[in-house]
Amino acid sequence: MNTLSATPGILAAFRKYLRIFRVSLTERFAYRGDFFLGTFLRFLPMLTTILLWTAVFDGAKESGREELGGYRYREMIAYLLLVHISRMFSSMPGLASGIARDIRDGSLKKYLVQPLDLIGYLISYRAAHKAAYIVTSALPYAVIFGICYRFFDHWPDAITLVAYLISLLLAFVVGFAFEACVGMIGFWLLEVSSVLYIIMTLNYFVSGHMFPIDVLGEPWATFLKLLPTQYLAYFPATVFLGKTTGLDLTHGLIIEAIWAVVLLLLARVLYRTGLRRYSAYGG
Amino acid sequence: MMRYVRLFRAFARVSLLGDMAFRGNFLIKVVVELLWLGLMVFFYDRLFDFTAAVAGWSRPQYFFFLGTYYLMESLIETFFLSNFGEFSELVRTGNLDLVLLKPVDEQFLISFRHVEWSTLPSAVFGLILMTRSILQLDVPPPAMAYVAFAVGLTCAVAMAYSFLLMLSATAVWLVRNQSLYELWWLFMSLMRYPKEIFNAPYTNAIGWFFTFIIPVLLAVNVPAASVVKLLDSQMIAYLVASAVILLFVSRRVFRRAMQSYRSASS
């Protein structure tokens, strides 16, 4: 008798997914050469973006302007640094395309014949990757933030920090559920790569990854803040910066949590509906 | 040589046939590509409402730079990026064996097997952007500037090709599971902006490093600057020299990697 069935219930389920977490963590470090090269190169765009914005604000100062979309120079740089932390939690490279591939080539059936839930499995797997990524990049990020400390006015107070942490953890769930939903499109369309491409491209723009949404001006800014994508990058960063406070902050967190639940449920509904159409191609 | 031209034409035709089999998909890719460039132009337009110049580049000059960048990116993506993207997978799965067995130069086969037609319209977008910028300039550029531009851009594409070749060759040693696209995208971030942004006390050294040691900063900067700013013949000469050296070195690195390749699976 195996250990999983010996302890039934929630505990067993938890252990099962914990084990997936551990295996995924080991897998991640098997390709460490590539992993570290990627981590190093990741800092290049950060540097060039900072330099570009410095040039933009230097130019603006000559024409007597200091604020763009409500952001002064130092806030803008701080924002762009913080967006990386948001994306550290919310980005899920390859999740949607992985699900779509499993559907297309028939390997999705491995979830159907085993006592394993697709969404449960994937979320454990992703959590492991995120944990590995966050742990290994903590030091380089600490160095970067250390060098760039002068862009930050003050360290946020304890309540803001707690709210920030919550917004990041929710960003992980929103990011996961969002990509999972996108991946489920694979049940209806055989070739999803182009749809994924559209969504991911737009996402970089609308999530506030490139610049604070407010820079676009009205009505764009208000519209983009209605979408769940703003929680993937924009919202957590503004929480840390103290730009979202008080009632706005509480509302923001509640809406983020609602999006997390809604998108997870949507992913599940799409999965269930999709399975009815699924015909398990391949051998 | 003629054989390779013929082969390339065949590759291009087969790729186009493949794309036309999934016309909807192809069309969407083109539209997204153009939509993205459009969004970028919208964004930079917004920036120039805020400032008159970025790192010494005025609005039309900056948009010319942007057009040059799009043109170069499109050429890279159309002709070889996707091929290098698949290379690491060939190494990981051991399917590279099939490439090595063919009686054709393996570097050629790996680099040009597939032509990504869907990114070619972006080149047109870049050209339109560049033309619009030139019309907005106060003083039209001299004819020599266009010659310098053509030479510079050719060298820049050759340099990008060499970098990509070396970057993919590392897959043989590192056994990559990560996409080369992502690495390349990070690398491109150095070419995306004018090199003058590095003119700050702490970053001068970085700018110098990426200009003279690893000359990526020259790629878009030199050709674009020769048309809308200043034609610096020394820089053009340096770009040509770097392109030639890099093509040579990258070929050596690639061959070295091929020697270390030890198939995989069964």
Residue B265 lies in a domain: no
Is B71 a residue whose pLDDT tops 90? yes
Mean pLDDT of B152-177: 84
Longest CA–CA separation in chain A, Å: 77
- The token duo for B32 is 């997204």
What would the 3-class secondary structure string for B211-256 be?
HHHCHHHHHHHHHHHHHHCCCCHHHHHHHHHHHHHHHHHHHHHHHH
Residue B29 reports pLDDT greater than 70: yes
Residues facing residue A113 across a β-bridge: none
The answer to whether residue B211 sits within a structural domain is: yes
Residue-range definition of the domain harbouring residue B22:
2-260
Q: Identify all chain A residues contacting B179, using CB atoms and an 8 Å cutoff.
A: 93-94
- Domain parsing of chain A, residue ranges: 66-116+136-277
Query: Which pLDDT score is estimated for A1?
Result: 41
**B197 contacts in chain A (CB < 8 Å):** 48, 51-52, 54-55
Q: Do A54 and B197 touch (CB under 8 A)?
A: yes
Residue with tokens 């919208």: B42
Q: Is A133 on the interface with B (CB under 8 A)?
A: no
Residue B198 belongs to a domain: yes
Partner B, chain A 64-123, Cβ-Cβ below 8 Å: 65, 68, 93-94
Q: Does A225 touch chain B (CB under 8 A)?
A: no
Of B51, B175, B203, the CB nearest to A51: B203
> Quick one: three-class SS letters along B45-65?
HHHHHHCCEECCEEHHHHHHH
- Specify the pLDDT at position B253: 92
Residues B11 and B14: their CA atoms lie apart, in Å, by 5
Task: Answer whether residue B99 shows pLDDT above 50.
Answer: yes
**pLDDT for the residue numbered B63:** 93
In chain B, % of residues over pLDDT 70 = 95
The shortest C-alpha distance from A189 to chain B (Å) reads 11
Inter-chain Cβ pairs, chain A and chain B, closer than 8 A:
108
Q: Residue B68: pLDDT band by 50, 70, 90 thresholds?
A: very high
* The pLDDT value given to residue A283: 47
- Cα(B8)–Cα(B83) distance, rounded to whole angstroms? 13
Name the pLDDT band for B61 (thresholds 50, 70, 90): very high
CA distances A147 to A47, B131, B202, Å, are: 12, 41, 11
* B-chain residue closest to A63, CA distance: B51
- pLDDT value, residue B166: 87
Predicted local distance difference test score (pLDDT) of residue B65: 94
Chain B nearest-CA distance from A264, in A, is 27
Predicted pLDDT at A34: 61
Give the one of A31, A38, A47 whose C-beta lies nearest to B183's C-beta.
A38
B170/A37 touch (CB, cutoff 8 Å), yes or no: yes
Report for A56-60, B74-78, B136-140: range of highest mean pLDDT: B74-78
Predicted local distance difference test score (pLDDT) of residue B64: 93
Measure the CA angle with vertex A217, ends A215 and A220; round to 5°: 105
Identify the band that residue B229 occupies on the pLDDT scale cut at 50, 70 and 90: confident
Better pLDDT: A42 or B184: B184
Considering only CB atoms, B178 lies closest to which of A38, A45, A57, namely A38
Domain total for chain B? 1
Pick from A148-157, A211-220, B71-80, B84-93 the range whose average pLDDT is largest.
Answer: B71-80
Residues of B in contact with A51 (CB under 8 A): 193, 197-198, 200, 203
Which of A:166-205 have CB within 8 Å of B?
191, 193-195, 197-198, 201-202, 205
Chain B residue numbers with beta carbons less than 8 Å from the beta carbon of A219 are none
| pLDDT beneath 70: ranges in chain A | 1-8, 28-42, 279-283
> pLDDT (tens digit, 9 = 90+) per residue, B114-129?
898 988 999 999 999 9
pLDDT of residue A275: 80
Is B266 a member of any domain?
no
Structure tokens at B223: 């050709």
Compute the average pLDDT of residues B177-192. 73
**Half-sphere exposure for A87 (CA within 13 Å, toward CB):** 18
